[in-house]
Amino acid sequence: MLRSMTLKQFLKDTIRHWDHDGTSPNVRENFWKIINCGTPALGAEVFASGTEVKIVYHTCKSRFCPSCGARAASLWAEEIKATIPNIPYREINFTMPKSFWPLFQQNRHLLNDLPALGANAIEYWVRARFGVRVILMVVQQTYGGFLNFYPHLHTLVSSGGMEDSCVRWVHDLTFQEEEHRHELMLAWRFALLTYLDAAIKANALNADLSAEELARLLKTEG
């Protein structure tokens, strides 16, 4: 008979398999946060009266914790739902070559500009293809499902747009055709390569590669 097991208990039972130097420090840190969540290890607040004492243990607040992460995600989703217009949206995701991951991991300040790059790429393509402006929201993720550093963008784009020339709303813009996906990919690739090239020329990158090696990397990925 199978018994149900919480993630916290599973991590406790498998400590010897992941708590070692062969596991990413970020993974180990978040696993320990989940184990210690809601326990004395993270401290507590004590509320007392003349007849009763209540101890409330601190939570880990890790995005990967089933309790803390799920609550934060739920609150964020409700806020977004109340903010964006109630119209149909389509999802567009942007990734990047694995060879670029170390550049962004060593230069975390560059991550701040990625959402704007993605948004600009979409806006440029939509204007060129349909002549309209769309409503969009960009959500950046820096880690993947295996807690590995994996910077990528999730975007919600309105399935319609405003045509400025005659001030009318154009419904049912197409994003899913192979040709359109290819054009969006090219717009994103150009934006990302141009951004990295500018960062290299401005000496704004800390990298294990030389400037010449970085230039060859951009040329190869381009």
Residues 62-80 pLDDT 10s: 878 888 877 777 887 788 7
Q: How many CA atoms lie within 13 A of 171 on its CB side?
A: 2
- Which pLDDT does position 83 carry in this prediction? 79
Residues 23-43 pLDDT 10s: 888 889 989 999 999 999 999
Taking the domains of the chain in order of start, what are their residue ranges?
Answer: 1-78, 84-221
Give the integer Cα–Cα distance in Å for 177 and 130. Answer: 14
Phi-psi region of 183 (alpha: psi -120 to 50; beta: other; left: phi over 0): alpha
Closest to 46 measured CA to CA, from 61, 33, 34, 58: 58
Give the integer Cα–Cα distance in Å for 22 and 9. Answer: 22
User: Which residues of the chain fall below pLDDT 70?
Assistant: 1-4, 145-147
| Neighbour order of strands in the sheet with 149-158 | 89-94, 149-158, 136-143
Take residue 177 and report the two structure tokens written for it. 């055709």
- Which pLDDT does position 1 carry in this prediction? 45
- Which pLDDT does position 4 carry in this prediction? 63
- Which pLDDT does position 84 carry in this prediction? 79
In contact, 123 and 136? CB cutoff 8 Å:
yes
Residues 6+ apart with CB under 8 A from 11: 18, 31, 34, 35
- Which pLDDT does position 5 carry in this prediction? 73
